[in-house]
Structure 1
Amino acid sequence: MEQFGVLTLGSRMKRLSDYLFAQVQEIYGYCEIPISSTYFPILRLLQVEGALSVTEMADRLHLSHPAISKQISKMLNEALLDKIQDQRDQRRTMLTLSSMGQQAMAKVEPVLLEMQQVLERMLSFSSDDFMTALVKLEQQVLTDSVANKVLDRLSDITIVQLESEQHQLAFHDLNMNWLERYFPGQINKHDYELLDSPKAWMSQYHGQIWLAVCERDGKESVLGCLAFKPHPDKVGEILKLAVADHCQGMGIAQRLLSHCHKIACAQGVKTLYLETANCLLAAKSLYEKNGFVAKPVPFTSLYKRADLYMEKALGGNP
């Protein structure tokens, strides 16, 4: 449809709408939330404003009276709404959330928070042209599962050691996505050595690689990673800390760092160090929060992009 431009605008917007409704329904089903995704505008409106008539709902949502009435009938049959009399006009019927409706909306609240995070990241691009922006939005939304991203954020996370082929592929992809976003012209042979053959790298350098994973329906999703390389004189190096874009802000990087700190202490490491870039403000802030201090670089870096060397003396809490 894209080749016909604005002539298919309505169809393209409907395609996005239908896809997102289906994705939300998938999330509701997995989380055992007993409502239809199409009910949400009405349920949220009543949750915020209290009892309203059908006409008032149609006006506030800018939808037709018949469309609202059809949804209301379904929700009444499912006991999500109650009918009450208007205290100011006994001839007028108002609608409000039933106790079941209130429970359903309470259950959906954490889902909505994570869904907002995922969608806001998908929309975090700028464009002065609406159709260009629409193409970007379609690429973001339709080429990947919104439901899976939201469910990743809702799932319990564990830290595991890299083992399977899936782990190796995820480790490669997480880091390559990060490198191509921030330093596309500065990926070198040392990056490829580790990312293309992480098990060989671990064997050669006696290193370890940990992954932050969640599991649903017997399948793992890798959401973050970190590599640790021991050096002589009880020194350890942190490399390749990366977190999936849709899982930013969940504390995954902190958990990986804390896990590395614990293992390094258990191995008798006295100093941890890492290389990063001053332009990566969020990463720099995270490292500073964890006790890493900027120092002069004591060696020639393998990475042109690295202009900040940081160390942490071990012995305290992460």
Structure 2
Amino acid sequence: MDYMKSLATLSLGSRLKRLSDQLFAEVAIIYDQAGLKLNPNYFPLINLLNSVGPIGITQAADYLSISHPAVSKIADKMIKEGYLIKQPHPTDKRASLLSLTIKALHIIKQATPVWEALKQQLDYIENLQTHSLLTSIDQFESNLNNYNLAQAVANQLTRKNAKIELINWHPDYKNDFYKLNFNWLESEFYGDLTEKDKHALENPESYYLSHGGYIFFAKQEAKIVGCIAMKPEENGYMELSKMAVTPEMQGQGVGRKLILEAIAKARELAVSTIYLETNSKLKRALTLYQHIGFAHCNHPKGKSDYHRADVYMELKLYV
């Protein structure tokens, strides 16, 4: 068992470090077999200087998107091993330029066919992936750079202690209802909206409320952090749908509170059965439904009107 896999995103940094260590170890073996006396860690900087010519450490850090101290540390090692020299900057006396030595140019010539073969084999492994690893890394790096993770965690820890208030529908929260549901549909199903979805989200008053339905919201301080809708059907059935919770509040019990509020309202209305439709890949939601008492059942119509829904569940209130 690989325990780090069970930690999911919490082990992301550790797993990327593990993958990096494995790749560097493999490259070190390849270099040794090819007779290359080159530290694999030098590849980004030696390749950059070979491509753009002499540059300063600050420029190199910008090109490689790594810290100035990290580039400086690698450059110092490469200077000691004879791969780099520092030259005076032609216009700035306070700065210097990193330049490749004859030794470095010789090693690049020797390494080039090895790098080409290595790239072909890594491309082959990359093409075996269901989703491109390089594209995923690009997206994740971009998202992380545009997201203040440290501040978001601090804010969540602060919000965690703030009280969750459950409130009924109000027109002021119509946009929240739309955004909460559209965002999770965008995240999980690429924004796949059926005509029923559009009606429900754009006109919840006519879709739910005018038919005797209800919409509840979870509110924390001044922010809406979750929602759920219920719509009465024939024969004492009630549909539970459009449950959504903001990403930062997931796992905090908000969804459970919303479902229990809906169940309480259903009991008050003497509903016999609550049903819902979902997708089998939404593991966290499925676990929550099962813990509350929902059971998997055959779909009464044979299949759902929502092509993304492959799970039908019911909760019996009055038998």
What interval of TM-score do these two structures reach, taking the shorter chain for normalisation? 0.5 to 0.7
How far apart, in 2, do the equivalents of 1:286 and 1:312 lie?
Answer: 13
Structure 1: give runs of 5+ residues left out of the alignment.
Answer: 12-125
Q: Please tell me whether residue 179 in structure 1 is matched to residue 181 in structure 2.
A: no
How far apart, in 1, do the equivalents of 2:184 and 2:215 lie?
Answer: 17
Letter paired with 2:293: G
The one of 297, 302, 307 equivalent to 2:305 is 302
Deviation at 1:9, TM superposition (A): 4.8
The one of 172, 175, 181 equivalent to 1:169 is 175
Deviation at 1:231, TM superposition (A): 1.1
What is residue 275 of structure 1 aligned with on the other side?
277
Gap change, CA 1:241 and 1:132, over 3 Å in 2 = closer
How far apart, in 2, do the equivalents of 1:249 and 1:186 lie?
Answer: 24
Deviation at 1:5, TM superposition (A): 4.2
What is residue 238 of structure 1 aligned with on the other side?
240
Q: Secondary structure at 1:285's aligned position in 2?
A: helix
Q: 1:114-193 maps to which residues of 2 (within 5 A)? A: 133-141=140-148, 148-165=155-172, 167-184=173-190, 186-193=192-199
Deviations 1:179-209 (A, max 9, x none): 0111116321111111112223233322110
Q: Please tell me whether residue 201 in structure 1 is matched to residue 207 in structure 2.
A: yes
Mapped contact 2:182–2:191 kept (Cα < 8 A): no
The one of 298, 316, 319 equivalent to 1:313 is 316
Q: In terms of Rg, which structure is larger?
A: 2
How far apart, in 2, do the equivalents of 1:296 and 1:259 lie?
Answer: 26
Deviation at 1:141, TM superposition (A): 1.9
Structure 2: give runs of 5+ residues left out of the alignment.
Answer: 1-60, 69-132
Gap change, CA 1:148 and 1:200, over 3 Å in 2 = farther
How far apart, in 2, do the equivalents of 1:259 and 1:132 lie?
Answer: 38
Deviation at 1:280, TM superposition (A): 1.2
How far apart, in 2, do the equivalents of 1:265 and 1:127 lie?
Answer: 51
Deviation at 1:149, TM superposition (A): 4.2
How far apart, in 2, do the equivalents of 1:172 and 1:242 lie?
Answer: 10
How far apart, in 1, do the equivalents of 2:314 and 2:217 lie?
Answer: 23
How far apart, in 1, do the equivalents of 2:196 and 2:138 lie?
Answer: 41
Mapped contact 2:277–2:313 kept (Cα < 8 A): yes
Deviations 1:114-173 (A, max 9, x none): xxxxxxxxxxxx87998865432121228x9666544332310011012032x1111111
Letter paired with 1:305: R
Deviations 1:32-73 (A, max 9, x none): xxxxxxxxxxxxxxxxxxxxxxxxxxxxxxxxxxxxxxxxxx
What is residue 268 of structure 2 aligned with on the other side?
266
What is the TM-score with the length of structure 2 in the denominator?
Answer: 0.55
Number of residue pairs the alignment of both structures matches: 196
Mapped contact 2:164–2:219 kept (Cα < 8 A): yes
Letter paired with 1:314: L
Gap change, CA 1:301 and 1:137, over 3 Å in 2 = same
Mapped contact 1:271–1:313 kept (Cα < 8 A): yes
Mapped contact 1:127–1:133 kept (Cα < 8 A): no
How far apart, in 2, do the equivalents of 1:181 and 1:129 lie?
Answer: 14
Mapped contact 1:5–1:131 kept (Cα < 8 A): no
How far apart, in 2, do the equivalents of 1:147 and 1:201 lie?
Answer: 38
Q: 1:68-83 maps to which residues of 2 (within 5 A)? A: none
The one of 279, 285, 288 equivalent to 1:286 is 288
Ranked by relative contact order (alpha carbons within 8 Å, sequence separation 6 or more), the top structure is 1
Letter paired with 2:179: D
How far apart, in 2, do the equivalents of 1:186 and 1:303 lie?
Answer: 10
How large is the RMSD of aligned CA atoms in angstroms? 3.1
What is the TM-score with the length of structure 1 in the denominator?
Answer: 0.55
Letter paired with 1:292: F
How far apart, in 2, do the equivalents of 1:132 and 1:237 lie?
Answer: 37
Gap change, CA 1:5 and 1:302, over 3 Å in 2 = farther
Q: 1:219-230 maps to which residues of 2 (within 5 A)? A: 220-230=222-232
Q: Secondary structure at 1:239's aligned position in 2?
A: strand
Deviations 1:270-301 (A, max 9, x none): 10100011111111111111111111100242
Q: 1:247-262 maps to which residues of 2 (within 5 A)? A: 247-262=249-264
Mapped contact 1:186–1:304 kept (Cα < 8 A): no
Identity %: 31
